[in-house]
Amino acid sequence: MPERRPSRTEEGDVTLSFPISHAGKPVAVAPLTLTAAEAEQLHAALCHALAGHPPPDDAPACRQPCGRTVVRWP
For the whole model, what pTM was predicted?
0.64
pLDDT single digits (tens) 19-40? 899 999 999 999 999 999 999 9
pLDDT digits (tens, 9 = 90+) for 58-72: 887 777 776 665 566
3-state secondary structure of 48: helix
Q: Determine which helix (DSSP H) or strand (DSSP E) holds 37, and give its type and residue range.
A: helix 36-50
pLDDT tier, 73 (very low <50, low <70, confident <90, very high otherwise): low
19: left (phi over 0), alpha (psi -120 to 50) or beta: beta
